[in-house]
Structures are given as structure tokens and as C-alpha cells.
Amino acid sequence: MHKKASLALALGVMAVSGYGVVAAWFWPWKAALFPLVIGIPLFVLSAAEALWVLLGSTERATVQDFQISQELPEPEILRRSALAGAWILGFFAAILLLGFPLAVPLFIFLYLKVHGREGWVLSIVFTAVAWAFFYGLFDQLLHLPFPQGWLLEWSGLF
């Protein structure tokens, strides 16, 4: 039963993503970029899943539970998980308050300096490269405007 369901899902995803790729192929380049970037890998991965189901072994593999570490005590695991969640929430708050164009480089820089304890040069270089890639791709190449953050919108500065 599991094999049939996996095959049906893989073929369904192949059909939907294949249709999306073929339809987007005839659109203007800017409009077609996102469906092509998502649709082509999705089609290839679902085709691989279908082949895996059809040609793969019939014996069941054993599934192992995900474990963070065998050596760490539970309070340390909880502390690290809470810290990761705080970084994610902080990034989300920075996006809301400052907007993507400011939040992305700020987050990268702070993460490298505070959490990664990297040096100034490495932190600044990596932040600059990430910002240049982000700005070049989304603003210059794709012309995707990002909304201002709440603080910038309320202050009327930008």
C-alpha cells in the first residue's frame, strides 16, 4: 500500500510541476523565472522518487530516530534549541521592523559576530557579499520591491 501511495504522489507531483514548467516556458522571462526555478527541480526530484519506488528494493529500511547528541545533558539541549528559536524570532522581528533589505545584512552580521564569535573582517566581508548578492538578485536583476519595515514606514524617513 505504501509503495502505491508513494508512486501515485510522485507521479502527481511530476504532472503538476511538468505542466507548470511547460506553461511557464512560453511566458516572458521575468514572469517565468520563479515557476521554472521551482518547477524543474521539483519535477526531477519527483521523477527520482518515482524511479526509486519502481526500481528500488522491496525490503523495508529501518528508520532511525533523530537525535541531537548522545553526550549532551537535556538542559543543554533545551538551551541550544531555545537559542536557535530566539535567533529565528529575532530575524522575523527584524524583517517586520526594518524590512528585508536591512534585516538580512544585520542578521548575518550579528549572527557571525555574536553567535559565531567571528572576527570583524570576516563578519564584514561575509555580510557585504551576502548583501550584494541579495541586492543584486532581488533589486537589480528581478526588480522585486520589498515593503519597508514598520519602523521605517512609521518614521517616514524612507
Q: In the chain, where are the structural domains located?
A: 2-55, 74-155
**Is the separation of the CB atoms in 86 and 115 below 8 Å?**
no
Say which residue the cell 518547477 belongs to.
39
| pLDDT, tens digit, 9 for 90 and up, residues 45-91 | 999 999 999 988 656 556 555 666 678 888 888 898 899 999 999 99
| pLDDT, tens digit, 9 for 90 and up, residues 141-157 | 888 888 888 988 887 76
Band (pLDDT 50/70/90 cuts) for residue 158 is low
Provide the pLDDT for residue 103: 94
10 Å Cβ neighbour count for 80? 13
Say which residue the cell 511557464 belongs to.
24
Question: Measured in whole angstroms, how far is the alpha carbon of residue 102 from the centre of its chain?
Answer: 18
d(CA 8, CA 78): 39
SS3 142: coil
Q: What share of the chain is helix, strand, coil (3-state, %, to 5)?
A: 75, 0, 25
Closest CA to 138 of 91, 105, 90: 105
Provide the pLDDT for residue 60: 59
DSSP calls for 48-66: HHHHHHHHS-SSPPPP---
**Is the separation of the CB atoms in 106 and 94 below 8 Å?**
yes
| pLDDT, tens digit, 9 for 90 and up, residues 88-106 | 999 999 999 999 889 999 9
Over the chain, what is the mean pLDDT?
Answer: 88
Provide the pLDDT for residue 12: 96
| pLDDT, tens digit, 9 for 90 and up, residues 122-134 | 999 999 999 999 8
**Is the separation of the CB atoms in 25 and 33 below 8 Å?**
no
